[in-house]
């Protein structure tokens, strides 16, 4: 068994312009390793602002020479032996895997989305499932439809890059690919990357224990926290509350932000708070009766769900993808028919009809789910097992 405490570990992440769950997970895992007194270093790439800068960086996504040199120098300077990658899109690029290869660094990659098998990263397009790329390493249909930002040109760049790296064996350079749920693992195993099956392992995300607990709960409104986009089910969410007396608080920003803001202005039962800090989100989770997770895409996880569990907040989610595994119907939350606004409204009615004792049982179960599956200690143990397994294969 390798003594990991004697190894230098690198965490590499390409952050997004709009901070989200992936960014939080990368930082959480870095801080987790620091808390256990491991020798860990963090390298962060940032996508540029400005259309022109973004375009030229994006077209170099196949192999960004600057990122390769930066990563190679960082790995060598810090004598890193284990590299854990959370995201390379798009400034870091897959070039970082070749930098690690040259220095004989053992690489682990967390798969936060489906970008390796679909340029949309979500296996959806315009709110509908798009699965053609799963079994097709060069999907002309994806290019024709422009599944990435509705642009055939940008989609071609991603499809070509993934296809070429697949042919070159770049994806084989990682020792293990960490999927966040068994559902996501199955999706990748059934894709054209099934040759990597032995490399896929499952480890969920975790969330630190909340700072504020036992706060008085208003229990009179629901909460949504997330990116305001079609794939996150925002349109379904608004439709469900359009003819409802139930109250809803929305936190987040994204492409549908103006729609949400306008909806809140014309519907007194909806409050829109815009983007808020983690501290405010935690406070709002402690206030609401339940968190809503109406996402209609193949979610790989959904960090906000376990953040809700950590505050004893049940979750109401569609019976689809990873959300249906994280939320156990009738135990720590409820399911409804995914993408169906009327079914969501009926589920909200059912929840509000529960008496206080029944809701409290759901809350106790939600917190127990957090303690049993999603604490920092459990995650650290699982991560060390994965590192050990990968290093043992070298």
pLDDT at res. 58: 85
Given this chain, do its domains 4-206+375-393 and 222-373 carry the same CATH topology? yes
* pLDDT level of residue 321 (50, 70, 90 thresholds): confident
Q: Could you state, in order of their start, the residue ranges of all structural domains in the chain?
A: 4-206+375-393, 222-373
d(CA 161, CA 315): 38
Q: What angle do CA 276, 279, 284 make, to 5 degrees?
A: 75
d(CA 110, CA 201): 10
Give residues with Cβ within 8 angstroms of 296, minimum separation 6. Answer: 124, 127, 230, 231, 232, 233, 236, 318, 320, 338, 339
The yes-or-no verdict on residue 87 having pLDDT over 80 is yes
pLDDT at res. 214: 63
- Rounded alpha-carbon distances, angstroms, from residue 230 to 241, 335, 359: 16, 19, 30
Query: What would the two tokens of residue 46 be?
Result: 């940032």
Neighbours of 126 (CB within 10 A): 12
Domain 222-373: which CATH number of 1.10.3720.10, 3.40.50.360, 3.40.50.10310, 3.40.50.2000: 3.40.50.2000
pLDDT in tens, 267-317: 999 999 999 999 999 999 999 999 999 999 889 999 999 999 999 999 999
The yes-or-no verdict on residue 213 having pLDDT over 70 is no
pLDDT at res. 22: 93
What dotted CATH number matches 4-206+375-393? Answer: 3.40.50.2000
Mean pLDDT, the chain, rounded, equals: 95
Answer yes or no: are the C-beta atoms of 111 and 140 closer than 8 Å.
Answer: no
pLDDT in tens, 40-67: 999 999 998 888 888 888 888 999 999 9
226 sits in the region (left: phi over 0; alpha: psi -120 to 50; else beta) called left
pTM attached to this predicted model:
0.94
Answer yes or no: are the C-beta atoms of 387 and 82 closer than 8 Å.
Answer: yes
pLDDT in tens, 258-271: 999 999 999 999 99
């Amino acid at each position: 068994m390798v003594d990991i405490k004697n190894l230098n570990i690198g965490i590499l992440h390409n952050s997004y312009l709009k901070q989200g769950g992936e960014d939080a997970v990368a930082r959480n895992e870095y801080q987790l390793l620091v808390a256990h007194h491991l020798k860990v270093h963090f390298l962060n790439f940032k996508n540029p602002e400005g259309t022109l800068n973004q375009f030229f960086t994006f077209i170099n996504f196949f192999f960004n020479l600057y990122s390769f040199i930066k990563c190679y120098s960082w790995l060598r300077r810090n004598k890193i032996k284990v590299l854990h990658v959370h995201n390379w899109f798009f400034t870091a690029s897959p070039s970082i895997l070749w930098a690690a290869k040259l220095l004989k660094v053992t690489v682990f990659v967390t798969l936060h989305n489906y970008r390796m098998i679909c340029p949309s990263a979500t296996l959806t397009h315009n709110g509908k499932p798009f699965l053609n790329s799963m079994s097709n390493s060069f999907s002309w249909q994806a290019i024709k439809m422009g599944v990435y930002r509705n642009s055939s040109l940008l989609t071609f760049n991603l499809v070509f890059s993934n296809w070429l790296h697949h042919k070159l064996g770049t994806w084989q350079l990682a020792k293990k690919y960490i999927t966040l749920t068994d559902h996501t693992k199955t999706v990748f195993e059934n894709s054209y990357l099934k040759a990597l099956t032995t490399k896929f392992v499952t480890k969920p995300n975790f969330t630190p224990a909340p700072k504020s607990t036992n706060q008085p709960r208003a229990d009179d409104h629901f909460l949504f926290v997330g990116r305001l986009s079609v794939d996150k089910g925002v349109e379904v969410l608004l439709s469900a509350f359009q003819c409802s007396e139930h109250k809803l608080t929305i936190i987040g920003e994204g492409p549908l932000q103006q729609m949400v803001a306008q909806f809140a202005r014309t519907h007194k039962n909806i409050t829109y708070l815009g983007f808020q800090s983690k501290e405010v989100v935690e406070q709002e989770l402690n206030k609401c009766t339940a968190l809503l997770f109406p996402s209609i895409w193949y979610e790989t996880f959904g960090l906000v769900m376990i953040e809700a569990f950590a505050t004893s907040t049940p979750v109401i989610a569609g019976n689809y993808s990873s959300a249906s595994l994280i939320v156990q119907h009738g135990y720590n939350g409820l399911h409804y028919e995914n993408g169906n606004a009327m079914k969501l409204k009926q589920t909200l009615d059912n929840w509000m009809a529960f008496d206080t004792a029944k809701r409290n049982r759901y809350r106790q179960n939600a917190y127990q789910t957090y303690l049993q599956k999603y604490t920092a200690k459990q995650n650290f143990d699982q991560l060390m097992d994965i590192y050990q397994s990968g290093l043992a294969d070298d």
